[in-house]
Amino acid sequence: MGNEAASLGALKAGMTFFAAYPITPASEIMHFLAGKEKTIEFIHAEDEIASIHMAIGASLAGRKALVSTSGPGMSLKQEAIGLAHMMEVPLVIINVQRVGPSTGMPTLPSQGDILQAKHGSHGDYIPIVFYPNSVEECFKYVIKAFNASEESRSPVIFLMDGFLAHLSETVDLSKIKVRAKPRTLEPLGKGNRHFTGLLSKDGVPKTKDTEFYREWYSRIKNKMLETASRYSFFEYIENPTASSLLIAYGIASRVILPLKTKYSIFRPITLYPVLEKELKRTARRYKKVIVIEMNDGQYKEEVERILKREVEGISVLGGTIQLKEIKERLNAL
């Protein structure tokens, strides 16, 4: 199951601190890791906000930390995500998406939290976001998510969806060789370091210093983009006879896979920062670019922005996705 594979990936990455609050369709991650409470620090927290703050505290104190949730919980975690970016704390947040807004359609799958993953917390920041599309990838890319979070010293968002979370596939985990990176943050107990959500220079608040803000932001931006450039994951299935390129990710990319006989398919695994170079290079030769996603065109907006041309979109809303419907809608374009 995707949820189990993601949990196992986290353990493989060296995660020893997990805090969460029950929410469908992410709860199996909690259940699975509760079974490991003898080897990791496991907390069923009082709420979504507490769980991510506990993880931030634990990460500062020297543990690789994980939290898991779904849409409503992800909304509640946004302020803490901003804090982790500001304090430069490594952390992995799994969001198993379901249909929103609000309680929405509990708990049918969705891909509606793409833009939230990019800009859910207030202020400017640059997150790294992964979205796998198989049980094997849930395992593999959670390890990479931990590595990216350590290298960038930032909270990395790992998107899944209700389908993927509950999908069962046979995987030989021993064949997946991804090495876990060591910790980059020296744990609390060193003395005289101040971690704060305020803009600060060497622990001293600089809350009225515009020039320093600009300098600081440019450092953070460079750091994030530079790290992310080493984590630019995608899959490109080229069909030499195709004149249209389909772009899809997560479960939607699995569903449309049979269409490779007629189309080329580009699947971003790193959703953010957007794979600008790869998208531009790949899309160049196609007459049509069509983004298929289970939301109202969230990633299509990004593709249009990057390619600076008209991009078609197929929005598959309401928690159900079928190849037949997609074929019909493609033919009608």
Partner 1 sequence: MHYKDYVNWEKMPTSWCPGCAIGIIFKQLTFALEKLEIRKEELVIVSGIGCSGRAAGYFSSDSVHGTHGRAIPIAEGIKRANPALTVIVFSGDGDLVGIGGNHLIHSARRDIDLTVICINNETYGMTGGQMSPTTKEGIKTPTSPGGNRYYPINIQGILTSNKRHFYARSSTYKINHLQKVIQQAIEWKGFAFIDAIAFCIENFGRHLGFKNAFEMLERTKTDFKIPANKDKVLAENELGIMKK
Residues making contact with partner 1 (CB under 8 A): 17, 19, 41, 43, 45-47, 49-51, 53-63, 65, 79-80, 83, 87, 187-198, 203-205
Residue pointed to by tokens 């107990």? 189
* Closest by Cα among 233, 209, 229, 232 to 221: 229
* Closest by Cα among 277, 240, 275 to 260: 240
Which residues touch 61 (CB under 8 Å, ≥6 apart)? 187, 188, 189
Give the DSSP H/E element, type plus range, for residue 48: helix 48-60
Q: Smallest distance, Å, CB 198 to partner 1?
A: 7
Which residues touch 63 (CB under 8 Å, ≥6 apart)? 15, 16, 17, 41
Q: Smallest distance, Å, CB 125 to partner 1?
A: 15
Q: Smallest distance, Å, CB 179 to partner 1?
A: 23
Q: Smallest distance, Å, CB 84 to partner 1?
A: 10
Which residue's CB is nearer to partner 1, number 93 or number 271?
93
Give the DSSP H/E element, type plus range, for residue 74: helix 71-76
Q: Smallest distance, Å, CB 16 to partner 1?
A: 8
The residue type of 262 is K
Which residue's CB is nearer to partner 1, number 84 or number 148?
84
Which residue's CB is nearer to partner 1, number 79 or number 209?
79
Which residue's CB is nearer to partner 1, number 50 or number 115?
50
Torsion-angle region of 62 (φ positive above 0: left; ψ -120 to 50: alpha; else: beta): left
Which residue's CB is nearer to partner 1, number 205 or number 258?
205
d(CA 78, CA 59): 17
Q: What is the DSSP letter of 180?
A: P
d(CA 21, CA 31): 11
Which residue's CB is nearer to partner 1, number 47 or number 328?
47
d(CA 149, CA 17): 15
Q: Smallest distance, Å, CB 162 to partner 1?
A: 27
Q: Smallest distance, Å, CB 175 to partner 1?
A: 32
Which residue's CB is nearer to partner 1, number 49 or number 307?
49
φ/ψ of residue 73, rounded to 5: -70, -35
Which residue's CB is nearer to partner 1, number 205 or number 318?
205
Instruction: Tell me the two tokens of residue 290.
Output: 């069509």
Q: How far are the Cα atoms of 10, 124, 182, 271, 272 from residue 234, in angstroms, in the given order? A: 21, 25, 25, 9, 12
Which residues touch 241 (CB under 8 Å, ≥6 apart)? none
Q: Smallest distance, Å, CB 282 to partner 1?
A: 40
Which residue's CB is nearer to partner 1, number 29 or number 80?
80
Give the DSSP H/E element, type plus range, for residue 136: helix 135-152
Q: Smallest distance, Å, CB 203 to partner 1?
A: 7
